[in-house]
């Protein structure tokens, strides 16, 4: 009798573990936005500000307002490469997701907005620094002094233990 109850408990625990392994990724996954679609827009770039006072850029095509994005607003601040095109008629080429009206601009009039490869804003707060929304001063190794000048890094390595 004891053998069958321990077996039943084991099967119950194993079933629960299997269920967790199958269900957990489903709840943790972000919804799929679908594939990125290529789009070319030709029109005049308009500039405005969002609710936080950051510059935003858009283009109205056939009554549809397309927001133009060259990367995260927190990264560019007032130095957004789209700012130079405000009021000008341009051809913007980029990508978007079906059902959305934000164009992630790659080129304007054939000129790339950024160099190819990893974007400058990638890498999190340790790489980007104070501009990153997740940056917290004093929480990084060396407290802003760099690895060479961090406390404990300047130990005299030439000292040898005393021989008795």
Please indicate, yes or no, if residue 20 is contained in any of the structural domains. Answer: no
The beta strands (E) that lie in the chain are given as 36-44, 46-49, 55-61, 64-69, 89-97, 102-108, 111-112
- pLDDT one-digit tens code per residue, 123-153: 776 766 666 666 666 655 555 556 666 666 6
What are the φ and ψ backbone dihedral angles of 36, each rounded to 5 degrees? Answer: -80, 135
76 occurs within a structural domain: yes
Of 67, 135, 120, 125, give the one whose Cα is nearest residue 97. 67
Share of the chain above pLDDT 90, in %: 35
Q: Answer yes or no: is 106 within a domain.
A: yes
157 inside domain: no
pLDDT at 19 over 70: no
The residue range of the domain holding 75 is 36-112
Question: Is residue 87 in a domain?
Answer: yes
Q: Is 80 exposed, middle or buried (0-12, 13-18, 19+ CB in 10 A)?
A: buried
> Cβ–Cβ contacts within 10 Å for residue 45, how many?
21
CATH number, residue 66: 2.40.50
Nearest residue to 108 via CA among 159, 50, 59:
59
> Could you tell me which residue, 4 or 116, shows the higher pLDDT?
116
Domain presence at residue 72 = yes
Q: Which two tokens stand for residue 150?
A: 């961090």
Work out how many domains the chain is built from and give that number: 1
- Structure-block tokens of residue 31: 């919804």
* pLDDT tens digits for range 37-82: 999 999 999 999 888 888 999 999 999 999 999 988 878 878 889 9
In a domain, 100, yes or no: yes
The mean pLDDT value of the chain amounts to: 79
Tell me, yes or no, whether 95 lies in a domain.
yes
Separation CA 130–CA 159 (nearest Å):
38
């Amino acid at each position: 009798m004891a053998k069958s109850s321990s077996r039943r408990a084991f099967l119950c625990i194993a079933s629960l573990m299997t269920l967790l392994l199958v269900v957990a990724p489903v709840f943790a996954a972000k919804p799929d936005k679908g594939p990125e679609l290529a789009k070319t827009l030709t029109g005049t770039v308009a500039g405005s500000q969002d609710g936080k006072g950051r510059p935003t850029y858009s283009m109205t095509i056939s009554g549809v307002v397309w927001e133009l994005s060259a990367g995260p607003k927190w990264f560019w601040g007032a130095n957004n490469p789209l700012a130079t095109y405000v009021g000008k008629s341009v051809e913007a080429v980029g990508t978007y997701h079906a059902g959305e009206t934000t164009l992630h601009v790659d080129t304007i009039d054939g000129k790339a907005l950024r160099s190819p490869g990893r974007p400058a804003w990638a890498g999190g707060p340790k790489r980007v620094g104070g501009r990153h929304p997740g940056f917290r001063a004093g929480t990084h190794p060396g407290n802003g002094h760099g690895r060479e000048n961090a406390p404990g890094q300047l130990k005299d390595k030439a000292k040898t233990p005393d021989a008795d």
